[in-house]
Chains A and B, each alone.
Chain A
């Protein structure tokens, strides 16, 4: 009986440590909302299909559906929040051949957009 309980607790805590769960904790709702607003204001949809935004839905760049679960940014960089926040503001600095231009935004907006992208974990 005790053993089953212990295994149960371990199982639950293991479950709680899965990567997606950790991401959920990092991403707070206010940043996600601000990020989504910034994405709409900047028109990221001119090149990317965006979850929850019907139009614009561009095809020049990759769809951002389920972006939180994508291993790589632009097929070259690990999908980590610190790298992502730099990439959304100044992609050519990290991936020289990219078609994605440097986009004028504040550091706060870059962080918020990162939070929003990290919240896109539906597959």
Chain B
């Protein structure tokens, strides 16, 4: 098996994400944003011109600017016409984004918002779960992926700006959103509905693979083999220190459901739900005192480990690829 082609860490340009679309489902938002920004600048120019005339213009121009006709045209007709056109055009443009475009052939994933992270359940064609992950979504490039968006506790909002607009996640409901990436890369997401405490630190990562790399990634979803050396000591600590009560690691006795599935935590791009780089150092820092990094998150700080134990735990989790 040849190694996967390296995925660029960021394909983002200098533009704000909203103007930097990377797929067909974010393109209408980008077009609309450009039109609104450009139109806003044109109107600002007109206002500045009118202000200049009002301050320094000849008496004749000032009189015309202050006349009844100018008020009716500039103050009433112009905003009504411009805003009506903008509303109709904007609704038409973004109507393509609604779930009406679902064909049923899309790859399906259920994403469930939790305080303050994301469950990711990959589904087969019949909507049955194939396997679970958290805080990171892998998709093939160039094809739409249908997301079933749900919430477990409060309202969250799923937003990967370069791939699609926002979609709320509402407890008791399933909202559907199509996303698509046109080039391999890592795309960052963010909860876009205030959901309490560390809402701002509820990030997400979408990794888009070339189709053959995606097939390879899917094929490699078996749990990592049993840990060796220091990692084996870490596994023992993981099972006996309470970690397993909240986290699942498939292929091990750990089957907790309250926190993110850690079966493949070592292969993730980020830690703490899209907020920290993932390496042994950040793993150790998170375990020992996640409250310093994401205050209010539901994992307590674990102060009972000595240095070697903490490193063993980090070794173990890093080996869960």
Stretch in contact with the other chain, from A9-17, A26-34, A53-61, A77-85: A53-61
Q: Mark A3-27, 1 if CB is under 8 A from B, else 0.
A: 0000000000000000000000000
Judge whether B31 is part of the interface by a CB distance below 8 angstroms. Answer: no
Instruction: Chain B residues near A73: list those with CB within 8 A.
Output: none
Instruction: Chain A residues near B282: list those with CB within 8 A.
Output: 42-43, 46
Instruction: Chain A residues near B306: list those with CB within 8 A.
Output: 97, 99
By the criterion CB–CB under 8 Å, are B292 and A43 in contact? no
- Rounded to whole angstroms, the CA-CA distance of A92 and B306 in the bound complex is 13
For A, the interface residue count at a CB cutoff of 8 angstroms equals: 22
By the criterion CB–CB under 8 Å, are A101 and B277 in contact? no
Q: Mark B280-321, 1 if CB is under 8 A from A, else 0.
A: 111111101100110000000000011110110011000000
Instruction: Chain A residues near B314: list those with CB within 8 A.
Output: 101
Instruction: Chain A residues near B239: list those with CB within 8 A.
Output: none
Judge whether B279 is part of the interface by a CB distance below 8 angstroms. Answer: yes
By the criterion CB–CB under 8 Å, are B307 and A42 in contact? no
Judge whether B276 is part of the interface by a CB distance below 8 angstroms. Answer: yes
- Rounded to whole angstroms, the CA-CA distance of A44 and B200 in the bound complex is 20
Contact residues of A between 42 and 95, Cβ < 8 Å to B: 42-44, 46-47, 56-61, 92
Q: Given A46-B282, A46-B293, are A60 and B311 neighbors across the interface (CB < 8 Å)?
A: no
By the criterion CB–CB under 8 Å, are A101 and B280 in contact? yes
Among B281, B282, B289, B307, max chain A CB count under 10 A is at B281
B-side interface mostly: helix
Judge whether A120 is part of the interface by a CB distance below 8 angstroms. Answer: no
By the criterion CB–CB under 8 Å, are B279 and A103 in contact? yes
Instruction: Chain A residues near B307: list those with CB within 8 A.
Output: 97-100
By the criterion CB–CB under 8 Å, are B277 and A57 in contact? no
Q: Given A46-B286, A101-B280, A103-B281, are A58 and B310 neighbors across the interface (CB < 8 Å)?
A: no
By the criterion CB–CB under 8 Å, are B285 and A60 in contact? yes
By the criterion CB–CB under 8 Å, are A42 and B277 in contact? yes
- Rounded to whole angstroms, the CA-CA distance of A56 and B308 in the bound complex is 23
Instruction: Chain A residues near B305: list those with CB within 8 A.
Output: 99
B239, chain A: closest CB distance, angstroms? 20
Instruction: Chain B residues near A104: list those with CB within 8 A.
Output: 279-280
Instruction: Chain B residues near A60: list those with CB within 8 A.
Output: 284-285, 288-289, 292
- Rounded to whole angstroms, the CA-CA distance of A43 and B293 in the bound complex is 11
By the criterion CB–CB under 8 Å, are A102 and B280 in contact? yes
- Rounded to whole angstroms, the CA-CA distance of A100 and B307 in the bound complex is 7
**Closest residue of chain A to B315, judged by CB?**
A101
Instruction: Chain B residues near A97: list those with CB within 8 A.
Output: 306-308
Question: 8 shortest A-B CB distances, which residue pairs?
Answer: A46-B285, A99-B307, A101-B280, A47-B285, A43-B277, A46-B282, A43-B282, A60-B288
- Taking A42-B282, A43-B276, A99-B310 as known contacts, 20 extra A-B pairs with beta carbons closer than 8 A to each other, sorted by chain A number, are A41-B277, A42-B279, A43-B281, A46-B271, A47-B288, A56-B276, A58-B289, A58-B292, A59-B289, A60-B292, A99-B306, A100-B281, A101-B280, A101-B311, A101-B314, A102-B280, A103-B279, A103-B281, A104-B279, A104-B280
